[in-house]
Amino acid sequence: MAMYMDYRSSADADGTICAEDVISAEGSKLLSKGTVLNQYYIYRLLKFNIKKIWVLKEINKGYDNSEKAAEDILNSATSIIESILKGGGVPDEFKDMLFNIMYYSDPDNFASIVSYVNQIVGNDSYTYDHSLSVAWLSVKIGSLYGFEKERLKDLMQVGLLHDIGKSCVPSNVLNKPDKLSLYEYELVKRHPLLGYHALKPIVSDEIAEAVLYHHEKLNGTGYPFGITEEKIPIFAQIICVADVFEALVAKRPYKSKISPFAALKILRNMALANEVSYKIYDIFETNIMNSYIGTPHPDMPDNIVIGYDREKIEPIYLMDVNSSEEVHQH
């Protein structure tokens, strides 16, 4: 089974088989598909600053059936979600997990989906990291929304693949620190359509359409079509909330990251303007705020969060930081 692996931190990289050709940033082939890794090849990859490659690897034996895989999405989510909320993305040790789950979610199309994800990684690692985070956040929102496990696995696929069309957009445009030209912006705006056409032959209509509509806004100000309200499928509405939030809290070459609370305030304004679903925003916000209860103040480890102010979207600490007076609980 093809897996994306950091060969540098894997003790058993020696003897592993490359699943794809490994190409340098300059375009020359470093290793061919089927090559058995040895210390010489590993040295060569390091020299070209290639940190991860696709290898043939056993699927995690812990996932012996689809039900177990779906269960794992929910059970493993807490620490992963916490890292994403802080702008740290999916921790490295969990990055392969979705592929294991996806294998049981859609075994017939697994190889095609992996090769599409491979294209994202090859073009732009930020988009790949973003897609992993959006997949986890979307599943979290979907579970709060009340979806069954089977639908959560589909939603996970949408999260992972929603920006697949960006692999057709040059990475220097995607990560341009300056304002995009009109032409460049039009190019970026084509990615939902490109992704839809790439995926339509291999995934369900529901998954493909969620990819197509993930930048549409309820009030009709989105793209590519400017459709409104009920015409936008629920999967696309969930992905949109996860997408906006993750893009705000994560650091990118063209912007610094902001706090989850500041990101929630922006999201609330978007919900009030009927750009994103208020219902989805609401369950997401409540859950995020709850996840902060019991966590220490960043500068005062003895001071913990005991609640939150929904109006201000701010945590309430045991001791009021400004007055240094204790907040009494009854």
Q: Which residues bind Fe ion (CB under 5 A)?
A: 163
- Alpha carbon 121 to its chain centroid, in Å, reads 13
- Quote the least distance from Cβ 162 to Fe ion, whole Å: 6
Q: Which residue has the tokens 């929630």?
A: 264
- Quote the least distance from Cβ 134 to Fe ion, whole Å: 9
Nearer to Fe ion, 144 or 188 (CB): 188
- Quote the least distance from Cβ 128 to Fe ion, whole Å: 13
- Quote the least distance from Cβ 245 to Fe ion, whole Å: 13
Nearer to Fe ion, 20 or 163 (CB): 163
- Grouping H, G, I as helix, E, B as strand and the rest as coil, residue 43 is helix
* Cβ atoms of residues 123 and 74 within 8 Å: no
* Cβ atoms of residues 145 and 106 within 8 Å: no
Q: Determine the Cα angle at 77 with ends 196 and 145, to 5°.
A: 65
For residue 324, give every residue at least 6 positions away whose Cβ sits within 8 Å of its Cβ, in sequence order, or none: none
Residue type, 254: Y
Nearer to Fe ion, 70 or 135 (CB): 135
Nearer to Fe ion, 120 or 313 (CB): 120
- Quote the least distance from Cβ 54 to Fe ion, whole Å: 23
Nearer to Fe ion, 17 or 193 (CB): 193
Nearer to Fe ion, 102 or 236 (CB): 236
In eight-state DSSP terms, residue 167 is G
CB atoms inside a 10 Å sphere around CB 25: 8
Q: Which residue has the tokens 């043939």?
A: 56
Which residue is at the shortest CB distance from Fe ion? 163
Nearer to Fe ion, 154 or 163 (CB): 163
Q: Determine the Cα angle at 9 with ends 83 and 47, to 5°.
A: 115
Q: Which of 62, 71, 235 has the alpha carbon at shortest distance from 149?
A: 71
DSSP strand pairing (305-309 vs 2-6): unpaired
CA distance 51 to 30: 13
CA distance 82 to 321: 24
Nearer to Fe ion, 163 or 209 (CB): 163
Q: Which of 211, 28, 232, 20 has the alpha carbon at shortest distance from 121?
A: 20
- Quote the least distance from Cβ 168 to Fe ion, whole Å: 12
- Quote the least distance from Cβ 113 to Fe ion, whole Å: 17
- Quote the least distance from Cβ 174 to Fe ion, whole Å: 10
